[in-house]
Structure 1
Amino acid sequence: MRAQLLARFQATFGRAPTLIARAPGRIEFIGNHTDYNGGTVLGAAIDRSLWVGLAPRDDARRRFGADYSGHDLVELPAHPLAPQHGKASWVNYPLGILAAFPDFGLCAPAGFDLYVVSNLPSGAGLSSSAALELASALVFAAATNQQIAREQLVAIGRHAENHFVGVPCGILDQGVCAFGQKDHLVFIDCRGPQFSTVPLLPDTRFWIFNTHTKHALVDGLYAERNRECMQAAQRLGVSQLAALTPEAFASHPEKNALPPAVARRAQHVVEEIARVGAVHRALHAGDLHNTGALLTASHRSSQHLFENSTPELDFLVDTLTPTPGVYGARLTGGGFGGAVMALTHTQFSQAHAEQIARAYSKKFGGEVQILETRTADGANLVA
């Protein structure tokens, strides 16, 4: 990826980048829509990543290029910082970081050339957006001789997505992207937030089945679920749904007064937080079979209670779970399309994955992109 970045940067700007950062994609292992509800979540940084190169300019022009944008440059003045639309909308992620820097007491660089290369599939629920935010923040800080702690890096990325891009996400994506560690999962208690790692058990693999179906969080469905969760918390008299256990929610005197859809969203979140805790304990006990069952239960809750699954994702989970070597499967990411993650034993092979893909194509006509992924370290400045 570094060689590809250097070549594309040189071809686009006629010079080499002076700063390079990489940031991994991430798998949401379990904890669907729990983060912005103050809950817990488990994720993994993966060995597919996004790289950003930057070279300062003497003027105040900012030029952005990417290998996934059709090689069209976006050239903007330093001011005003305004959201872009259409094909240029991808630059809102680094622009959001620039807009966030002053709010965190940091200086944003004035003029620069920036280029992005990635082998993260866009829209697969692997959080290419968070990777772009964090890698951009690292090169922007380095360009102005500033240091950013990982906790601050996470906060800046989330701030950019919430306030500039307009997605009311929690801290999962940026947190896993920043704190990822090879052969580990990242555990986040979002109320702190507090970050820690959990060793991943040996002889396990992650397989991603990307449906290429719509996964556009800004389109409103994600925001709608967020509003429903906030409404449920307010009606139930808590600041966040994480304050409720499944037992407390089931017996709450206001539960039956909630609109049915809002009650389903709240039930999913409260029970999902409990599942995250159960998976955390199962992993420490070395119990992969229970871990897998909890992953699949998470998907069923997303399917029936949170209603952010799709027929394509449900079919993949239905087909994967009885396959030998599969511990469990669930949608990963915000939902409403995107990808399914399967936790498997090493005996699950490419041939098994292709068999799943053929069944999907026979059912839906489209093709599934298969990604076998490993865990990886979090975002870092490369040069």
Structure 2
Amino acid sequence: MKQLRPQLVREFTALYGRPPVAVTRAPGRVEFIGNHTDYNGGTVLGAAIARGVAVAIAPRADGRRRFADLRDRRVLSLPGGKPKKQTGARSWLNYPLGVIAAFTKFGLKAPAGFDYLITSDLPIGAGLSSSAALELSSALAFLELTGQKAPREDVVKIGRHAENHFVGVPCGILDQGVSGFGQKDRLVWIDCRGPKFATVPMPAGAQFWIFNTHTKHALVDGLYAARHKACMAAAKALGVTLLADATLAQLNAAREKLKPDVFKRAQHVIEEIARVAATVKALKKKDLTAVGRLLTASHRSSQMLFENSTPELDFLVDELVETSHVYGARLTGGGFGGAVMALTSAEFGAAQARKVAARYAKQFGAKPDVLHTETGDGATVLRA
């Protein structure tokens, strides 16, 4: 982290011919537990991780907005004014452009011309929310560029607004909230109805291992939206605004009124909210064995009821929960591909991770990427 700012300053200067006026960074996140509970008004636990997205920025006098990614250094130039949605190879621009579009909705002045450079050590499409990290690091960069301030809650909401209304993903506040409020050695608890944010200590010795399957993790292709629609339909049938207001008894009483798939989606959400509460209690008792059982139960619910898992993710969970020193495992993120998170003790190491990856490769023909990470701090401006 200490070397990130000077490195990005050097790269920005080499690309654009002058140094940036600000460098910002926001972390990716692990969805610890609370799968698809956020947009249903429920609670969720997440962890900011020690990997993320950084942005360097400097103003331009001609009003043009120029973007580049350190991975290919290709400068993409857009006119100023109202942002327009991009397609194809430029689709990643929709995240910072969505943030610009959201600024005026929150009473902020949108940035005019600028040069912009990002770098990331987050794997794309792994369920670690590189999109939220990009949104929040962009929001902080635009605030610095324009000399404006905003409460952290608003920065988080701006990121979600960009994703919902510009990118087109009907996500809740989980990803942006964890990236914004993360703290090292703590989990972020969010009551998504407020939203309200708090942190919960992570017991010493707990570690995260991420197994990225590289299977499709496409949330905009309708699968995520279909689950969202089913949840809203269930809430309406139960006479509540959001499923967080419903009980399992209410759902069972209304079973005959609901399509079978809608019933299952609602059952997952209601039971998952209860699992979040149980996990908080177990964490406060430092009972990682109980936490692990809840994580695995969450995955089984995603697998059987919400049906947002895949054979690849299920295989990894099956393998991991039978491996020594693993407390529990579950898919992390929206699902439909992506990654599995394993919560382990310090005794679980790279050798065991490689064995799991090798068994996966034998089954599916390609090894998953394995990422060992830890909790990290939330979005911030990197000062000199």
Query: What TM-score results when the alignment is normalised by the length of structure 1?
Result: 0.98
Match of 1:312 in 2: 312
How far did 1:13 drift? 1.2
Match of 1:335 in 2: 335
Deviations 1:185-211 (A, max 9, x none): 000001111000000001110000001
Matched-pair contact (CA < 8 Å) for 1:100–1:159 = yes
The alignment partner of 2:95 has SS state of helix
Letter in 2 for 1:172: L
Match of 1:177 among 176, 179, 183: 179
Matches of 1:312 and 1:93 in 2, distance apart?
28
Matches of 1:219 and 1:74 in 2, distance apart?
25
Match of 1:168 among 170, 176, 180: 170
Whether 1:286 aligns to 2:289 is no
Match of 2:206 in 1: 204
Match of 1:133 in 2: 135
How far did 1:306 drift? 0.4
Match of 2:50 in 1: 47
Percent sequence identity over matched residues? 62
The alignment partner of 2:117 has SS state of strand
Matches of 1:240 and 1:81 in 2, distance apart?
32
Matched-pair contact (CA < 8 Å) for 1:246–1:274 = no
Matches of 2:293 and 2:251 in 1, distance apart?
23
Matches within 5 A, 1:341-356: 341-356=341-356
Matches of 1:167 and 1:18 in 2, distance apart?
31
Match of 2:376 in 1: 376
Of 73-82 and 42-51, more deviation after overlay is shown by 73-82
Matches of 1:184 and 1:154 in 2, distance apart?
18
The alignment partner of 1:277 has SS state of helix
Unaligned runs of 5+ in 2: none
Letter in 2 for 1:40: T
Match of 2:230 in 1: 228
Matched-pair contact (CA < 8 Å) for 1:21–1:53 = yes
Match of 2:155 in 1: 153
Matched-pair contact (CA < 8 Å) for 1:161–1:168 = yes
The alignment partner of 1:218 has SS state of coil
Equivalent pairs counted in the alignment come to: 380
Match of 2:296 in 1: 296
How far did 1:112 drift? 0.1
Matches of 1:14 and 1:72 in 2, distance apart?
15
Query: What TM-score results when the alignment is normalised by the length of structure 2?
Result: 0.97
Whether 1:258 aligns to 2:261 is no
Match of 1:271 in 2: 271
Deviations 1:295-325 (A, max 9, x none): 0000000001000000000000000001110
Deviations 1:228-275 (A, max 9, x none): 11111111111000011223322x2x2222111111100100110010
Match of 2:25 in 1: 22
Deviations 1:173-195 (A, max 9, x none): 00000000000000000111100
Match of 1:86 among 85, 88, 104: 88
Matches of 2:164 and 2:306 in 1, distance apart?
21
Matches of 1:369 and 1:7 in 2, distance apart?
30
Matched-pair contact (CA < 8 Å) for 1:120–1:126 = yes
Letter in 1 for 2:301: S
How far did 1:10 drift? 2.3
Deviations 1:67-105 (A, max 9, x none): 34x332211011231100000000100000100001100
Letter in 2 for 1:194: K
Letter in 2 for 1:370: V
Letter in 2 for 1:16: P
Structure 1 vs Structure 2 CA RMSD: 1.0
Matched-pair contact (CA < 8 Å) for 2:140–2:381 = yes
Matched-pair contact (CA < 8 Å) for 1:236–1:255 = no
How far did 1:5 drift? 2.0
Match of 1:58 in 2: 61
Whether 1:241 aligns to 2:243 is yes
Matches of 2:14 and 2:39 in 1, distance apart?
41
Matches of 1:278 and 1:120 in 2, distance apart?
30
Letter in 2 for 1:266: A
Matched-pair contact (CA < 8 Å) for 2:208–2:342 = yes
Match of 2:193 among 177, 191, 203: 191
Matched-pair contact (CA < 8 Å) for 1:49–1:120 = yes
Match of 1:104 in 2: 106
Letter in 2 for 1:212: H
Matched-pair contact (CA < 8 Å) for 1:138–1:148 = no
Deviations 1:149-186 (A, max 9, x none): 11111111111110001000000000000000000000
Matched-pair contact (CA < 8 Å) for 2:308–2:334 = yes
How far did 1:9 drift? 1.4
Match of 2:123 in 1: 121
Deviations 1:117-174 (A, max 9, x none): 0000000000000011001110101111111111111111111110001000000000
Matches of 1:353 and 1:2 in 2, distance apart?
32
